[in-house]
Structure 1
C-alpha cells in the first residue's frame, strides 16, 4: 500500500465514523489511566463492568490508595490478571500522589515510569485525555497494519512508527480509534468481515472474505 492508498484507507474509515471515541468508560484522566491499565489482555466490556463499581468507590488516587489492593481486587476479579493489576493500580496511584500532586502527567516518560504503564497505555492517555497525536498499537492495530499493508512491521513500535508517517496529518488525532474499532469489529483475527469493509478496495490482504458465510 503506497502513501496515497494509506491515506485513502484511513479517510474511508473516517468518513464512516466521523466522531470516534474510546469504548472504555472514564470521567477523568485518572480514571482513563486506570481503565487502560486494566484493559491489558481483557476486553473493554469486561473492564467497564469492573470499573463501574470501582470508580464509584474510588475515582482519584488518594481514594484508590485508601481502598488498597484487596479493595481493588473485589471489583476487578472478573478480568484477567486481576491480582497483578490491583497491585499496579495501587502503586501507580501512590506514585501519582508522591510525584505529581495526584494529577496524571501529560508526559510520556512520566507516564511510562508508572507501574503497569507501557507505551501503548501512555499513548492512549496522551491521545484521549490530552489530545496529542499519539498512536496506541494494540493487537487489533498490529494485525490490521500488517494484514492490510497499511503499516507493516515486526513489532508494535514498527507499526506505530509506520502509521505516524502514513496517516494523513489532519487525521492523526483520531486515527487510532478508527483503526482499533475497525480491527475489533470488521478486520477480525479469525475471519475478517471484508464484505462490509469500507476500505476493501484499498486493502492488500490476499484472502479477502468477500461474502458473508451462511448462518
Structure 2
C-alpha cells in the first residue's frame, strides 16, 4: 500500500508547490516587473497622496464635480446583519443590482433618477449611464454624453465658461482601442482632477 501512497503524496506536494506557490509568485513578480502601475492597483497620486484608483469608481456628490454613473453596491445592515443597505461606491462589496428590465423596482428607480436629472436642468434625451448602474457598481468611467450633459451644472457651480469645460471633457475622452474595440469613455476621477487643475 505504501508503494502506491508515497508517489501520490510526492506528486501532491510537488504540484501544490508548483501550482500553488511557484506559478502564482512567478506571475505576480512578472506582472509587477512589466506592469508596475496596474499590478499595484492603478493608484492615482496627487500631491504625494493617493486619491483613488483609475479602475474603481468613487462618489463625487458636489455640484462642483462631474458625477459618475449610479452605484448599486451595498453593505451589511448595522441593525440586522442578515440584510443589506445601500452603500454607493463601496469598493469592498462590488455588486450589481441584478434587477431585470421588467423589474418594478428598477423602473421606479430609473424614473425617479430621470425626474431628478430633469429637475437639475439636464436636457433630454438623458444618457443611459446617467440613470443605470454598472454590473460592478464601481464603474470608473462614463460616456462622453454623460460628461457633456453635466457641463452646464459644473460650470454654474464653479463660475467657469461652459465651453471651457466642454473642451476639457473632449481632452479626457478615451477612444476605442484600434478605433473599434470598446466604446468612447471618460474616466471620472481623471476628469475631476483635470477640472481641479484648471483653477
Q: TM-score by structure 2 length?
A: 0.27
Bigger share in strand: 2
Bigger share in helix: 1
Q: TM-score by structure 1 length?
A: 0.26
